[in-house]
Structure 1
Amino acid sequence: MEHIKTKTTKSRWLKTMRKYHKWPGIVITIFILFFATSGIILNHRNWFSSVDINRSYLPPDYRLTNWNFASIKGAVHITTSDMVVYGNIGAWLTNNEMEYFIDLNDGFPKGIDSRKVEAMLYTDDGNLLAGTLFGLYLFNGEFWDKIEIPTIEKRITDLIEHQNQIHILTRSHLLITDDLKSFEIITLPEFADDDNKVSLFRTLWTLHSGEMFGEWGKIVVDILGLGLIFLGISGILHWLFPKWIKRRKRKNGAIQSLKSGMKTNLKWHNKIGYILAIFLIFTTITGMFLRPPLLITIAQSRVAKIPFSKLDKPNPWYDKLRRIAWDDLNNKYLVSTSEGFFHFDAYFSESANYIQHQPPVSVMGCTVLEPYTSIPGVWLVGSFSGLFQWDMQSNTIHNVITRRPVMSTARMGPPISSNLISGYIRTNRAEYLVEYSRGMEVLSGHAASVPSMPAGVKNATPFSLWNLALEVHTGRIFNHLIGSWYILYIPLAGITLLLVIISGFVIWWLAHRKKRK
């Protein structure tokens, strides 16, 4: 009797699990293909940097309008009337009124991703430098020449000139040079009260991508992605095989090959599924916390470094540096990091000083850091948390857009706000902010309106395959269909995928595991 009860309970479990595995699995398969394929592309940006997508093939939301999508991040003035604007459109020569735009992108490698300029510097001796996602470039008057820098990481986050020396900031080091030939590599001194921890966001990010364990870690995650694709396709085939067999029977056709195919397909579906189950569950959960709304719950959290991982580096600022400037008020370097703002002495010989009163900055990083007035110690700070005027002398912070005072923050600001600041331009006529979604807006001055975005600039700025993969992977690609509800795409898809993986493992455990003995 007990045996019969157990068998009945097992049958009920199997029936329930098969229901939860089948229908959610069928629904989510297309999204599984999206997640896995886009994830593999995201893991290898340098592999796909030369591949572009014509924006006309994308939803209308991805059209360039009014300098949106961080088209312009900043500008450097090369004469009293001319400047070079730079950003995700590359580099373009224009005047203060932005009445014309001349393409200055010759020399950058193929692909829009390779000419996205993060920082630009016009030196006192007339050199024009550009820092991109993939390295440092010098303009020779006709095209860009690449300048090799002696660090493994090539991504440039900022460029400044101080005391006739060029300072090149990567995400982990500061390089100082006089001649762009010999470089001093500086590892910034640690913060005296550093807890030797890293943000939970960064930890989950590198675990999710496999980057935590270098290139081999990425390859392992790529294999998980390929395994997920196989499970999705083989699951659909398992649903279709009985239909094909019935159709063949009605036509009096041979069905043995279909039965054999169905058996083989199920065998490998089960085998790959139970081997990868725990890894897929882990990858799914970490991914769910990398996007709002779950991101908000971990944005301020810090955890110990995982031993022997990529984050367990002797460099206390590994992958944390974002912006740098010279602070005349305090006679120190001001550096924006993923841990907040810090002061460093002129020779980087003393411990970093954490600045107690500072404006909110998104975990996505500081996008604007410029002296805001002629008065030392007043800064303009922008990020996806908003745009703020920061007065170090009075320890006051004002929201530049709302003109309201803001309380200083302990660490980082909210991940996003209603004003996603991606750039800022100051000319002799006006100030302009660049909001990621809305584009360019007049902040102050005599300009009646912003300059229109020429067709030539739009046509020269396709959408990179890597960015398309990012839009797909995060669900933003569905914004034009469901509006702001797309923010629920990641958690709902994650929960559904977890249900499919766990129910599939339970089915294997109850129905197929013994058959292997």
Structure 2
Amino acid sequence: MKKKNKSLKIFRKLHKWPGIVIAVLSILFALSGIVMNHRPLFSKVDVSRRLLPSDYHYKNWNLAAVRGGLPIDSSQFLLYGNIGVWQKNGDEIRDFNQGFPKGIDQRKIYQIRAFQNKLYAATHFGLYERAQTKGNWQKVPIPLKEERLTDLFIKQDSLMVLSRHYLLKSGDGKQFEVVQLPKPANYKRETSLFTTLWQLHSGELFGLPGKLFVDLLGLVTILLSVTGLLHFFFPKIAKRRREKKKDNSKLTATRRLNLRWHNVVGYVFILFLLINTTAGMFLRPPLLIPIANSKVGLIPGTHLDNPNPWFDKLRRATWDAHLNRYLLSTSDGFFMADEKLEEQLIPMPVQPPVSVMGCNVLEPIGPAQYLVGSFNGLFIWDIRKQVVLDAFSQQPPQANSGRPISDHMVAGYFELNAQEHYWFDYSRGKLSFEGKASWPMPQEVLDKSPLSLWNTALEVHTGRIFEHLLGPFYILYVPLSGLCLMMVLVSGFLIWWKAYRKTKKQQPKS
């Protein structure tokens, strides 16, 4: 009996004190997760960067403010990226976002191309077009349910649009043919373990019902956190009321009801909460690192069980006129495809390193030569010679010693003319290969470029929002929070189970 009482005391301590710490963080996890699960719904809601830590304030076009640029004529060009689209003419930078829906997330631009005297923009929420100098952006209907686009390029007299799943082709910019790319050589029906855990954690693995169920788990987490905190404070409130000689009968009834809800909801959902917490812990370093390159089979009947071999894998693409081939950057690496897109796609034997977060730069710099950039750095790639060189050191790429990013976190690049080439580091912002001075960010750009609510939720959910307080140790926020939450859940269940069994034994047999 003494051993049982001692173990029960240990479980109560493990549940009580860590539970108080994790309750507030769990509410943040739950609320931010619900927002992240419904990006289109919250896409028009923004958060002023002035309310956020200084790490989220734009300085010198950093934080992927600019992904690329497009010259219009000899004196003016466009800048585009997370800030939308802006026109630079001499020293003047003007707003070029007229026509996009409300919300900074609605003008998250991945690529802009000129085609048949019009401009086309690939955004997170679809394809848009406008005249090069006048008018507003207008949405172009495309025959896809999922309108998230990743790239645009021109092939001879056709506009090519790349989504996360398909390639679209148009000769007039209005009517589009959807092309499903052929499977790659030696194709296996598998995906990354990271993607599987990501979709399990969000519920997307099981479609909309799965996402709604994970939303329910978020609400359950909030309920458990609030009722747990109330249970902790009830004795203190009761003591004060007794000191003031007030009736505690209603408070006692409320306390019992609160504890009942806490226990019942906890034991009903504990298994699902443990699974969801475990999956989430592996989506951030350091636990992400050992699974980053792991592959698993497609789970039958889930969202990932799709007949399209390139489902959610396409990132960047271009047409190489010298090789007469398509070049595609995917989550599985670089591939070449024939013009008719009938043969199996061939993986490139020599490839530049690309971050798990995807390829941000794929720009031709010569015949069959490309500049390839990601958070793993910037590289010169000669496909014919099968040579890859670091763009800064002119040496073959070096391993990052286990780090998932490079010292050069390349977020964008564009060539203004033969004498001006710029690249954009995620942290340092705009940099010039020729050493030219930077352009200051006008106040209008800063005022009109808040952070979307979805991105704010992402920063909260991953713990990056606390980096200014924790420094490099913020990377441990997710795994330590996950371990703490699992300890509180398991200890709470064991406390309930012991009390439940004890009550059951004490009940008289009929």
Which of 76, 83, 95 aligns to 1:103? It is 95
Provide, for residues 431-483 of structure 1, a one-character-per-residue CA deviation record: whole Å limited to 9, x for no partner. Answer: 111111221111x22x5321111111111101111111000000000111121
Could you tell me which amino acid in structure 1 is paired with residue 118 of structure 2? N
Task: Write the distance in 1 (CA, Å) between the matches of 2:491 and 2:378.
Answer: 47
How far apart are 1:246 and its partner, in Å?
Answer: 1.1
Which of 395, 400, 404 aligns to 1:404? It is 395
Give the secondary-structure state (helix, strand or coil) at the position aligned to 1:469.
helix
1:76 aligns with 2:67: no
How far apart are 1:403 and its partner, in Å?
Answer: 3.0
C-alpha contact (below 8 Å) 1:357/1:408 kept by paired residues: no
Most deviating of 7-16 and 378-387: 7-16
Residue of structure 2 in register with 1:4 after alignment: none
Could you tell me which amino acid in structure 2 is paired with residue 450 of structure 1? S
C-alpha contact (below 8 Å) 2:70/2:416 kept by paired residues: no
1:441 aligns with 2:431: yes
Q: Which runs of 5 or more residues in structure 2 are unaligned? A: none
Residue of structure 1 in register with 2:287 after alignment: 294
Residue of structure 2 in register with 1:276 after alignment: 269
Task: Write the distance in 1 (CA, Å) between the matches of 2:18 and 2:399.
Answer: 46
Residue of structure 2 in register with 1:465 after alignment: 453
Residue of structure 1 in register with 2:58 after alignment: 64
Which of 118, 125, 139 aligns to 1:134? It is 125
Which of 487, 490, 501 aligns to 1:502? It is 490
How far apart are 1:511 and its partner, in Å?
Answer: 1.4
Give the secondary-structure state (helix, strand or coil) at the position aligned to 1:101.
strand
Residue of structure 2 in register with 1:195 after alignment: 188
Task: Write the distance in 1 (CA, Å) between the matches of 2:399 and 2:289.
Answer: 19
Q: 1:272 to 1:46 in 2, by over 3 A?
A: same
Residue of structure 2 in register with 1:3 after alignment: none
Q: How many residues align?
A: 501
Residue of structure 1 in register with 2:105 after alignment: 113
Task: Write the distance in 2 (CA, Å) between the matches of 1:514 and 1:183.
Answer: 68
Task: Write the distance in 2 (CA, Å) between the matches of 1:38 and 1:328.
Answer: 46
Could you tell me which amino acid in structure 2 is paired with residue 190 of structure 1? K
Task: Write the distance in 2 (CA, Å) between the matches of 1:426 and 1:393.
Answer: 23
Residue of structure 2 in register with 1:29 after alignment: 23
Q: 1:408 to 1:511 in 2, by over 3 A?
A: closer
1:254 aligns with 2:251: no
C-alpha contact (below 8 Å) 2:111/2:123 kept by paired residues: yes
Most deviating of 157-166 and 390-399: 390-399
- Report the TM-score when normalising by structure 1: 0.94
- Report the TM-score when normalising by structure 2: 0.96
C-alpha contact (below 8 Å) 1:385/1:414 kept by paired residues: no
Residue of structure 1 in register with 2:178 after alignment: 185
Residue of structure 1 in register with 2:12 after alignment: 18
Task: Write the distance in 2 (CA, Å) between the matches of 1:89 and 1:217.
Answer: 32
How far apart are 1:392 and its partner, in Å?
Answer: 1.2
Q: 1:56 to 1:237 in 2, by over 3 A?
A: same
How far apart are 1:512 and its partner, in Å?
Answer: 2.8
Give the secondary-structure state (helix, strand or coil) at the position aligned to 1:172.
coil
C-alpha contact (below 8 Å) 1:361/1:414 kept by paired residues: no
How far apart are 1:330 and its partner, in Å?
Answer: 2.4
Task: Write the distance in 2 (CA, Å) between the matches of 1:264 and 1:202.
Answer: 41
Task: Write the distance in 1 (CA, Å) between the matches of 2:399 and 2:162.
Answer: 26
Q: Which runs of 5 or more residues in structure 1 are unaligned? A: 1-6
Most deviating of 414-423 and 175-184: 414-423
C-alpha contact (below 8 Å) 2:83/2:104 kept by paired residues: yes
Could you tell me which amino acid in structure 2 is paired with residue 114 of structure 1? Q
CA RMSD across the alignment: 1.5
Which of 452, 470, 473 aligns to 1:482? It is 470
Could you tell me which amino acid in structure 2 is paired with residue 100 of structure 1? E
Residue of structure 2 in register with 1:492 after alignment: 480
Task: Write the distance in 2 (CA, Å) between the matches of 1:9 and 1:187.
Answer: 64
Give the secondary-structure state (helix, strand or coil) at the position aligned to 1:500.
helix
Give the secondary-structure state (helix, strand or coil) at the position aligned to 1:93.
strand
C-alpha contact (below 8 Å) 2:274/2:486 kept by paired residues: yes
Task: Write the distance in 2 (CA, Å) between the matches of 1:57 and 1:64.
Answer: 13
C-alpha contact (below 8 Å) 2:32/2:460 kept by paired residues: yes
How far apart are 1:514 and its partner, in Å?
Answer: 5.2
Provide, for residues 261-309 of structure 1, a one-character-per-residue CA deviation record: whole Å limited to 9, x for no partner. Answer: 1101110101111111111111111111111111111110000001111
Q: 1:476 to 1:407 in 2, by over 3 A?
A: closer
